Structure 1
């Protein structure tokens, strides 16, 4: 089995090193990741300049682009390795609720899914690197499962791992996406020339964190697995739209 690994934290991140090490016990692995932190770039593609692929001393490949760029290059510019799956992560920080729309880690998995490749995104609800041994245990279980049960059709799963010790994990739980109300603060500052600049602040607290959501389950110590869909159509609004366009004329 061949597994292409990507992330959005960059090829030097502890999370991708952990995921590559664990996955290599069960599959042939190739890492193609951004050359630097590209968090929150979502599914963006680099169209205004050419992309390059370089290989680091540890064998990882790095690209001067986004996670989505990396998946495309890994699939179409490196024909000597044909992946059966794409693993993305392990992200330094959770990707739950509507945060998944911003995540480059989830975007890498999404792009693979769009291209017909089964994909799984891994995220750790911690940014201190203290719990990567917990994340490694989870990734090991997932990699083992897929090595024995290769997907017969494309899937897109998002896995979130709580920041607890391995022995404190309560198990796996299927969960729906919650909702975080993004009341992001804008933090004003000045550059060295005294000109105003602005930072995007931290997101707000989760607003939909009821039982059954990824927010609730990870807070209880569960590893959440959320199957994702990319159909954004609001089917329940179609009658309303149909009624509106009946009244429009050109």
Structure 2
């Protein structure tokens, strides 16, 4: 099995080494194509107006000056062509990718691009706490990911589905199990705009997150609830975002 790995934290991110180790638990034919620089939060952006620079970092390891989407396209269509990979792994992200994160996340986008190319694709993320922010508990992802991947692959991943896997911010022995979840929703106030001033007195802004808004009790059955209860969250996300129920309403309304 040929596996293509990417991330959005960049070619030198610790989580990329973790996803490669996970991949090597499944196969010896592992390729890494990751962004040259941190691309967190770029979502599913594609570089159309800027050239892509490709750098060989080592055997079967490449850096692309572009987005995670660019990396999957370059890996599948250029570096590995004509033999496509059999599996795409994106991550392991430093920090969870749940709820609204799935819209913003470059990690999710890398897996989505694999799905667009018709490949079974997984997004992998390791949650951290205030205490483990500087040193996420990567061993949790390392322990649980290979088994989860094997079982999901054996079950068969639908062509239009990406599998989003999040590991809780606790040691492997503290994980209570695995839950299949749905995408949760955060408090709408979780995003904030932080205004500051530079040395010349000119204003500039950071987009950040309100921690108090992130602490709301999550709905049962969601990715947020699973992580809060120390379960690994496995969420299948559809590539087709059509709202079928509202489509029926519109069909009647627009007759």
Normalising by structure 1, we get a TM-score of 0.90
Deviates more, 1:205-214 or 1:117-126: 205-214
Question: What is the aligned residue count?
Answer: 245
- Classify the secondary structure of the residue corresponding to 1:29: strand
1:129 & 1:228 partners in 2: Cα distance? 29
1:188/1:198 contact within 8 Å kept: yes
CA RMSD of aligned residues (A): 2.1
1:99 & 1:105 partners in 2: Cα distance? 10
Matches of residues 21-170 of structure 1 in structure 2 within 5 Å? 21-27=21-27, 28-57=29-58, 59-78=60-79, 79=81, 82-126=84-128, 127-145=133-151, 149=154, 151=156, 153-154=158-159, 155-170=161-176
2:162/2:239 contact within 8 Å kept: no
How far did residue 198 of structure 1 move? Answer: 0.8
2:123 & 2:63 partners in 1: Cα distance? 19
**Which blocks of at least 5 consecutive residues in structure 2 are unaligned?**
none
Partner of 1:237: 246
- Classify the secondary structure of the residue corresponding to 2:205: strand
Are residues 40 and 245 of structure 1, via their aligned partners in 2, closer, same or farther at CA, if it must alter by over 3 Å?
Answer: same
Partner of 1:197: 204
Partner of 1:171: 177
1:230 & 1:59 partners in 2: Cα distance? 29
1:20/1:31 contact within 8 Å kept: yes
Cα displacement string for residues 164-206 of structure 1 (whole angstroms, at most 9, x for unaligned residues): 1111111111111111134211101123332211110215426
Normalising by structure 2, we get a TM-score of 0.88
1:11/1:34 contact within 8 Å kept: yes
**Which blocks of at least 5 consecutive residues in structure 1 are unaligned?**
none
Cα displacement string for residues 64-99 of structure 1 (whole angstroms, at most 9, x for unaligned residues): 000001011011111265200100100100011121
1:48 & 1:76 partners in 2: Cα distance? 19
Partner of 1:221: 230
How far did residue 142 of structure 1 move? Answer: 3.2
- Classify the secondary structure of the residue corresponding to 2:209: coil
